[in-house]
Structures are given as structure tokens and as C-alpha cells.
Amino acid sequence: MLRSFLTSVFPSPWYTIAIAFQAGLLFVLFRFQDIHYSDRRLQLYSLLGIALLSLLVWIAALRRRWAFLATPLSRVASAAQGYVELRGTGLALEGNPLVAPLSGRQCLWYRYKIEQRSGDRWEHLESGVSEACFILSDGTGQCLVDPEGSEVITREHRVWEEGDKKCHEWQLLIKDRISVLGDFVTLRQSDELNAEQDINELLAEWKKDQPALLRRFDLDHNGEIDFKEWEWVRRAARNTIAKRHQEARAQDALNMVKASSARLSMITNHEPEKLARRFLWLALFELLVFLAAMGGLGWLKMIPH
């Protein structure tokens, strides 16, 4: 029950694993509390492990809290290139809605896990996560959101059993209120335009049709293109490519938010302010655990031989 509660609130793997290790080390600590002092290395190592994990989770929680609080909210229409926070309504790509594999529900993103009963334990059988993009609309514009590489925290978590299997499914639903932290980039077709390369390719294309080339540029009608006439050919090719590039730049740019390579990237359908408070409580709890573990280490040192 505790595990289901934790994964429903903080479904990130790092948190669940850290809590599981802390609980296991705490069990070892109390299981062997009556052994002789000279053999209390298990207790010592358990307390050290609890302290280290608590410190790591404390840092991770504060980092996530600070990421939301310290990053100014931007709008799609005016967002600067680089690390931003965006909030808006999540929409599916037209004609290609994502479908969760276990529940069959249409969604923006999913993660699933299947466990199989083995005696009185549940063992991992299968898991997966979607990497398809979806749309974020904030009223000023729309952009694609690429979830690959980002930490996704969702309040939509379902658990059910089918025979000897237990199914877990996390989702971001269509029309959820979505907050995104990541790198905002604008992809333009003009970014990949190369004028000299396109001019050379156009000239090569024109050379393949010599009769048409002569009709257009053989000004003295001597049946060949001389040096002066070739300059006119190059000027015409340059003007043609310039016009094509101008038309390409006039097309709509494609905005996208993707995982940052240098900073924390997150996607959530929680209210960011409430989520930040949860991370604060998590950090305070882990700080208390760390202090208790350090106190336990001091107590062990004080026990006489």
C-alpha cells in the first residue's frame, strides 16, 4: 500500500528505489540491534547507507523544487530559445492519437509495468514508456513537446489485477493542464538552406536540358553559351534560389520543447506550486532521516566495548 501511494504521487524511479533501500536498511538495523558491539558492522553500514540515501534524495527533491520556482514562466509566442517553463493544455497530434497499451485509453504519454505473482511476491514481467510527441497550447501559440529524456510526474496512476498479473499504468491525458521544463527550440526549414549548394544543383539541372538553356541564354544565337552569357545563367540561378529561399522562410516555424542536456527536464500535470510544496516536504523528511541516521552513528560510537 505504501509503495502504491508513493508511486502515485512521485512515480519517478529514483524516489521509489531510494525509499525501498532505506526501508531495507532500517529493517537490517532493527533486526540485528542486539548483536555484540564488535560485530555491529551491519548496523554501522545500515546507518551510513540510510544517511547517504537521505542526502541524495534531499538534494534531488530540492533540485526539483528549485527548478519550478526559479524558472520564469514563458509563453509559446514569445519564449526565448533555451531553458524555459511552459504551461498549457495538452493536445494529441491530429490523426495520430497515442493509445495506452494496457487500458486502451487515448492519452498524451504513458508508462506501464506488469508484475506477475510468484508465491507471496510480485516479480517484474514487462514495462515500457512512450516517446511520442504531443502538442502544448497556451493560448498564444502551440509547440511540440518531446517527452524523451524528461522526467514525467503524473497524478494519473491506475493499478489493477488480471489473474496472476498486476498492471500499473501512468498517463498524461488529453486536455490535461501540462507544465513543462526543458529546452525551447525553433526549427525552421531555412536553418538548413545552403544557397551555394542549391545554386550549383540548379545549374546542373539546367545543363541537362541544353536546348532549353540555349533558348533562354544564347543571346548571340551562335549555338553555345560563352563566358558573358554564362554569367547571365548564374545570375538567373541565383535569383531563382533567392526566391525559393524567401518562400521557405515565410513558412511557419516549428516550435518544440525537448529535454535539456544540461539542466533538469520535467513534464507534469500537477499544479507546479503544489508539486513544489510536496518536494519541500519530501526534502524536510529526508533531512530528518539523515539527522537521525547521523545521531544513530554517534550513539553507536558512544556504546562502550
In sequence order, the 6+-apart residues with CB closer than 8 A to the CB of 240 are: 202
- Looking at the chain, which runs of residues are DSSP E strands? 73-74, 82-91, 98-99, 106-107, 109-118, 121-129, 134-137, 142-145, 151-153, 156-162, 165-172, 177-187, 254-258, 266-268
The pLDDT value given to residue 35:
46
For 156-166, the pLDDT digits (tens) are 989 999 989 99
The per-residue pLDDT of the chain, averaged, comes to 81
pLDDT value at 17 more than 70: no
The β-bridge partners of 257 are 145, 184
The pLDDT value given to residue 54:
83
151-155 mean pLDDT? 91
Whether 229 and 50 have beta carbons less than 8 Å apart is answered as no
Cell matching residue 128: 515500457
pLDDT bracket for residue 2 (50, 70, 90) = very low
Helix (H, G, I), strand (E, B) or coil at 144: strand
CA–CA separation, 69 and 96 (whole Å)? 34
Cell matching residue 28: 537490517
pLDDT value at 24 more than 60: no
Of the listed ranges 43-47, 123-127, 273-277, the least confidently predicted one is 43-47
For 103-124, the pLDDT digits (tens) are 999 999 999 999 999 888 889 9
Chain centroid to CA 31 = 41
pLDDT value at 220 more than 80: no
In the chain, the percentage of residues whose pLDDT exceeds 70 is 79
For 185-205, the pLDDT digits (tens) are 987 655 566 778 888 888 888
The pLDDT value given to residue 94:
82
Tell me the pTM: 0.69
Chain centroid to CA 37 = 48
